[in-house]
A and B are shown apart, each in its own frame.
Chain A
Amino acid sequence: MGKTLFEKVWDAHTVRRMANGQTQLLIGTHLIHEVTSPQAFGMLRDLGLQVKYPHRTFATVDHIVPTDVQTEPFADNLAAEMIRELRRNAEEFGVTYFDLSSGKQGIVHVVGPEQGITQPGTTIACGDSHTATHGAFGAIAFGIGTTQVRDVLATQTMTMSKPKVRRINVTGRLRPGVYAKDVILHIIALLGAKGGIGYAYEYGGEVFDRFSMEERMTVCNMSIEGGARCGYVNPDAKTYEYLKGRPYSPKGADWDKAVAAWNAFATDDDAVFDDVVEIDAADIAPTVTWGISPDQGFSIEGYIPDPDKAASEAEAASIREALEYMKLAANAPIKGTKVDVAFLGSCTNGRLSDFREVAKYLPGHKVAAGVKAIAVPGSQIVDVLCRQEGIDKVFTEAGFEWRGAGCSMCLAMNPDKLVGDQLCASSSNRNFKGRQGSTTGRTVLMSPLMVAAAAVTGTVCDAREVFEVAELAGV
């Protein structure tokens, strides 16, 4: 019987079975950032330990960096202290650090792939739940807590229970104006925010075969919103084409050897999954959320659910809580809901192709009066690439603010925050209460093009209508 990529990578990285039945798993690549690592380094100091494999540990600063003025000193003393602490730790423990001055700084899940650090057949951990992003390359990648960051720093290993594997096949062809973001929002709405607990998600099918690496990253990124700690796509020619020539990719003879090894990690044709879900791409619409959990999402044509028609009392309570917070009325269409802020960026949708796709449609349109629209590249390199193509100008001419790289308004640990009960059309990944920096701020998750459409109309709307998305070759 064949094996899944997950099983092969897991087996290759198994150090031993622990007394409690868990696995001590080797973590080949450890990514760290300023928010969840300082306490871990503090624990190392307390225990008198060193970083086991400093050359396999990579740091950057993303969560707290301002995106308007990125020169130091930062106005926020606490943020300044966190970045100083990361610098000190990286230097003292000999860890590679992509600082603001490096030209390579950015959101950790954008930087890893961009530098070629993210590779197939590897294990990757980071103190960040969106680490599953790296699974797009056929890596087993997942988020960990700070004590586990300590474990990985000190031992390059951690304890973990082996999850089951669910294959999610998306077959057929996506309709024009339907994107990778819609695919993952659809999957989460279908399987629920806790549907993936105990599973790793293997995404596949024709849609994933055709997807670019950046589109695969968008889907894998939000695995955790569906409860799955990691999600991945098997590596193929696109994966290798993306990686070839990147700074940390293997070179020369090592490259050919690596590709052969990577190919061998792909799931075997006769592998058996613990569960299989089939989705027809034609059933996926431009998808938006209406509530306060990422699984509270539906087609842009949808009507707000009615708690009185809920299947259970628990579901009714969830709907009521969401509608009260979102200030939305049951049975009303989501389309037409007033938008105050448009945010395009994050580790989900802050890559070159995200901005490039929107820039195809934005010329000739202006951000609606009263809407604040910000475009935040996921890394300094994404910023440079966009500028080289004039994409930044397309955005600024339309009335967007073009910002510096960082996590920004996805979680609002920097100055980019909603105010009061502003409603944000957002390309990020979470619509939790208060997520975007205001305790009453409201988030509607959607694809980058839908964010742009919301920005120019001032309402949640269907980008296909606003931009007359023609029968383009879909993905």
Chain B
Amino acid sequence: MALAKITQVSGTAVHVPGSDIDTDRIIPARFMKCVTFDGLGEFLFYDVRKHLDGTEKAHPLNDPRFKGASILLSGVNFGCGSSREHAPQALYRYGFRAVIAESFAEIFFGNCTTLGIPCVTATTADIALLAARLEADPSLKVTVDVEKNRVFFGEENFTVHIPDSAREVLIAGHWDPIADLLEAAPTVEATAGRLDYMAR
């Protein structure tokens, strides 16, 4: 299964500020009443974007200046809470291809990597800087360079971090691990054979 090698993601970006933005906020539970992930994009951040009557609230994703953004910028502990993959699926289907935040919750990070969405961390100051530049020029092209651990925009750039294990699978095109996992079937069976409970 040949997967794209994700070395960098380029596009416009939007800043959704806040800390501890949880996966319930990213995709409210009622939208998980589904048996496929299709169509989740329209419900992304639904309850902070829409009033009960469906009219729009003030939210960065409703700001016409940031329509079409493919890079999301946020704060601390992004994606905490529920393990629901519906959250990264909604981000992807909405059009996001990379996330820059101060830190990420672990399950969310793993889910994103498996979908080929790089999640890179940056300092508070660098995120504030990029947010200010975006506010001044929403059309600013931003590049998340996974290979070089940097984010480039205009004439500026800053260092970002992504664990080596995630960077390697993204740039090698092995972010969906199923082929690699299947390949080890004989070793899996041998490992299982050493554990009594696997036979019970």
Contact = CB atoms under 8 A, between A and B. Distances in A.
Interface of A: 12-16, 18-22, 24, 26, 28, 35-36, 38-39, 42, 47, 49, 52-53, 56, 63-64, 76, 78-79, 81-82, 85, 119, 121-122, 127-129, 131, 142-148, 150-151, 154-161, 193-194, 197-198, 224, 227, 229, 248, 250, 254, 257-258, 261, 292-293, 314, 317-318, 321, 411-413, 430, 432-435, 437, 439
A292 B103 CA distance: 18
Contacts of B200: 248, 250, 254
A20 B166 CA distance: 8
B197 A122 contact: yes
A326 B109 CA distance: 29
A147 B176 contact: yes
Contact of A194 (B29, B48, B76): B76
Nearest to B109: A197
A111 B144 CA distance: 44
Most chain A CB atoms below 10 A, which of B83, B84, B185, B188? B83
B29 A413 contact: yes
Contacts of B177: 18, 151, 158-159
Given A314-B124, A433-B48, 7 more contacts: A19-B172, A144-B83, A148-B111, A154-B178, A197-B106, A227-B105, A432-B81
Contacts, number: 215
Interface in B74-93: 75-77, 80-86, 88-89
Contact of A24 (B81, B103, B166, B181): B181
Nearest to A155: B181
Given A193-B20, A227-B106, A318-B20, A157 B181 contact: yes
A126 B85 CA distance: 12
Contacts of A36: 83-85
A64 B34 CA distance: 11
Given A18-B180, A53-B198, A147-B115, A156 B192 contact: yes
Contacts of B52: 439
Contacts of A193: 20, 77, 80
A15 B186 CA distance: 10
Contacts of A411: 24, 29, 82
B55 interface: no
Nearest to B190: A15
A343 B58 CA distance: 32
Contact of A20 (B77, B164, B197): B164
Contacts of B165: 18, 20-22, 161
A156 B188 contact: yes
Given A36-B84, A56-B198, A433-B47, A412 B30 contact: yes
B77 A26 contact: no
A39 B35 contact: yes
